[in-house]
Chain A
Amino acid sequence: TQLLEQSPQFLSIQEGENLTVYCNSSSVFSSLQWYRQEPGEGPVLLVTVVTGGEVKKLKRLTFQFGDARKDSSLHITAAQPGDTGLYLCAGVGSGYALNFGKGTSLLVTP
């Protein structure tokens, strides 16, 4: 199993603040995915990054894939309470199954 380490584990911020979540591994992945999970629901895909150095934007969310395809980051600008949830990164390796990080639990308070 290829391990993915996410940091921080927990994050509690005020509405309007910026934040960055990190996803790191010693393994190379062919692509990396980010999911958001709301309480009581299954994770939902936010984005897939494929190319080393790639940057993708989804409204206030910016995703970056490291040049060596071993790490990724998620930056949220001007966080809103609706951004609250568990953010999971997942790497596509050589097998059928994704390797998931343990997640970053984000709480945005008004």
Chain B
Amino acid sequence: DVKVTQSSRYLVKRTGEKVFLECVQDMDHENMFWYRQDPGLGLRLIYFSYDVKMKEKGDIPEGYSVSREKKERFSLILESASTNQTSMYLCASSLRQASYTFGSGTRLTVV
């Protein structure tokens, strides 16, 4: 069964900390995505990558960066966590413009 695995289901971090969210897929997909999901706002795209070492800003990249050193791994970095980054973070991968396979999500709380 194909999978997208996010390293943590729940995280609690302090304001100002640097936070790493890891995502690994085993499907050899070219594209990987990071979204955040908030009530009433839906899924908002933070960053995506269409190849190793390639990255593109999504709709809300401010306060985030990403890294894709290997095809199967896409990391989201919160440079200095703030309370308004408390959210559910979803990673997804896809083959070209095909459907997404999502991870189970990481619920991040910044205190």
CB distance from A105 to the nearest CB of B (A): 9
B97 touches A96 (CB 8 A): yes
Given A97-B58, A100-B42, A102-B42, residue A43 in contact with residue B102 (CB < 8 A):
yes
Which one of A1, A42, A88, A96 lies within 8 Å of B31 (CB-CB)?
A: A96
Interface residues on chain A, size class? 20 to 34
- B interface footprint on A21-51 (CB within 8 Å = 1, 0 otherwise): 0000000001101010000111111001000
A1 and B58 alpha carbons, distance in the complex (Å): 10
A45 and B102 alpha carbons, distance in the complex (Å): 9
Interface residues on chain B, size class? 20 to 34
List of B residues within 8 angstroms of A92 by Cβ: 97
Which of A41, A92, A96 has the most chain B CB atoms inside 10 A of its CB? A96
CB distance from B66 to the nearest CB of A (A): 13
Of chain B, the residue at the smallest CB distance from A30 is B97
Given A42-B90, A97-B48, residue A88 in contact with residue B104 (CB < 8 A):
no
A98 touches B42 (CB 8 A): no
A97 touches B45 (CB 8 A): yes
A96 touches B50 (CB 8 A): yes
List of B residues within 8 angstroms of A1 by Cβ: 59
Of chain A, the residue at the smallest CB distance from B10 is A40
List of B residues within 8 angstroms of A43 by Cβ: 90, 100, 102
Given A1-B59, A42-B90, A42-B92, residue A98 in contact with residue B104 (CB < 8 A):
no
Which one of B50, B99, B104 lies within 8 Å of A45 (CB-CB)?
A: B99
In the complex, besides A45-B101, A96-B97, 8 extra interface pairs with C-beta distance below 8 angstroms are A33-B100, A35-B100, A35-B102, A41-B105, A44-B102, A92-B97, A102-B40, A102-B41
